[in-house]
Amino acid sequence: MNLDDYRTLFLTVTLILILGASTPVIGMFLPRSEEPFFVLALLGERGMADHYYPNGDPNIGVGSPVRWYLYLYNHMDGAQYVAVRVKVLNSTLPAPDSALCCPSPVPHFFEFRRVLVKNETWISPFFWRVSGATYQGDMVAVTQLVVNNVTLSLDTRALGGHNFRLVFELWVYDDALGVFRFGWRSGQDYRCAWNQIWFNVA
Amino acid sequence: MSLKCLKPFLVVSFLFTLIYSSIGSAVCEANSEAAVSAIEEAEATVSSAYRAVFEAEKAGANVLDLSVRLNNACDLLVRAKVLCDAGDFDDALRLTNPCIDIGKAVEGEAYSLRDLALMQGEWNFRLTIVLSSVSIGLIVCFSCFGWRVFKRRYFRRILGLRPEVVSSEP
């Protein structure tokens, strides 16, 4: 190796060391581009995506307890104030629209509120049973539900007690507007999350 | 007992019932208004507290403890709303008070934590800049010094070499 080769080697090593020393400062100014999102899921009685109905039977009798778990994960760029609104629908009542991020027009009968810090996962029990139902001819009306030991009144009807559904909508607090909105802003897009489980009232 | 005797008694009873029911409904209405306005105040307090927690977290503070307390306030608020919807205004009102207290306390602490985290962040930023600059300066100095020492030794070694005489005869 001649002197020029040694000079090149010295310069290269020096530049690598300078780059290493300036990495913490460069890291402070680099933009972090992560897609923000939420995860909303419903889990069965074992905390997994199965065993949603008692004894695997979707025909749920009055007073029969059902055990589900609500799963929420926050991957937004900071703490978020969220509400999960629970609605009872039949097969004809309109469900939320994922394409337009439009919630179901049916009013909610129960709500969870939670402040989730960044990257927090929250699992909450959703134990419920039908405690009141009226039968008028072929029509079955669910008039009372007990959710997590709270008795709630409602009035949703379905023919023969078939095809009721519990819909869970994720609403996120919009700080600018000062209200909860169905869905959240993700870059240029608007996204939303909802979930539903069908059941019959026997 | 004749009807004549009963008449004043009936009139008084009727008036009493009327007054009692109107007072009762007025009290109920007042309770309902008080509960609704307390719930609105609790909603606003929890939202403000959330904003403070959000800012504190953005500034780099650890807000886990604050979020746990704020979630207790959220639970109270939801329960108060359920009770209010069910017409149990007194209990709804009773639950909103601790909710508001927790919300206000969390908001205050969150802003303090945010200010502390901002100061800490600025200090860390300056320290990082200074340490990086000093490191770069040291690397450049040591490189220049090392290169000069290396070059001097290199030339000394080259100049110290003696030509080796080798026989060119076949």
d(CA A164, CA A156): 8
Those of residues 10-49 in B touching chain A at CB distance below 8 A are: 46-47
For residue B60 the two structure tokens come to 């780099």
Query: Can you give the pLDDT at residue B167?
Result: 72
| Weakest mean pLDDT among A29-33, A123-127, A184-188, B148-152 | A29-33
**Residue A183 · residue A154 · CB < 8 Å:** no
Q: Where are the domains of chain A?
A: 1-30, 37-201
Q: How do strand A121-136 and strand A110-116 relate by DSSP bridges?
A: unpaired
Residue A59 three-state SS: strand
Using CA of residue A169, residue A182, residue A189, residue A187, what is the dihedral sign?
negative
pLDDT band at B168 (very low <50, low <70, confident <90, very high): low
pLDDT tens, residue by residue, B25-65: 555 566 788 899 999 999 999 999 999 999 999 999 999 99
Residue B78: other Cβ atoms inside 10 A: 19
pLDDT at site B30: 64
Task: Please judge whether A28 and B67 are an interchain contact, meaning their C-beta atoms are less than 8 angstroms apart.
Answer: no
What are chain B's domains? 3-119 (1.20.140)
Shortest distance between the Cα of B91 and any Cα of chain A, in A, equals 14
Q: Does domain A37-201 have CATH number 2.60.40.10?
A: yes
Mutate to test the interface with B, among A117, A151, A153, A155 (most CBs of B within 10 A): A117
Are A78 and B143 a contacting pair at CB < 8 A? no
- Reported as a single tens digit per residue, the pLDDT across A67-120 is 999 999 999 989 999 999 999 999 999 999 999 999 999 999 999 999 999 999
- Please provide the average confidence, as pLDDT, over all residues in chain A: 94
- Specify the amino acid at residue B126: R
Helices (H) and strands (E) in chain B, counts: 3, 0
Average pLDDT over residues B7-30: 64
Contacts of A150 in chain B (CB under 8 A): 79, 82
Pairing of strands A189-191, A121-136: unpaired
Q: What is the mean pLDDT of residues A47-69?
A: 94
Rounded to whole angstroms, how far apart are CA atoms A93 and B78?
26
The candidate with the shortest Cα–Cα distance to A82, out of A164, A186, A192, A5, is A192
| Binary contact (B82, A112; C-beta < 8 A) | no
Whether pLDDT at A172 is above 80: yes
Q: What is the ipTM of this complex?
A: 0.86
pTM for the whole thing?
0.81
| A153 interface with B at CB cutoff 8 Å | yes
Residue given tokens 């027009």 in the structure block = A105
pLDDT at A81: 97
Which band of pLDDT confidence, cut at 50, 70 and 90, is reported for residue A3?
confident
How, if at all, do strands A194-201 and A59-60 pair? parallel
3-state secondary structure A119-175: CCEEEEEEEEEEEEEEEECCEEEEEEEEECCEEEEEEEEEECCCCEEEEEEEEEEEC
Q: Taking a C-beta distance cutoff of 8 angstroms, is the pair B120, B60 a contact?
A: yes
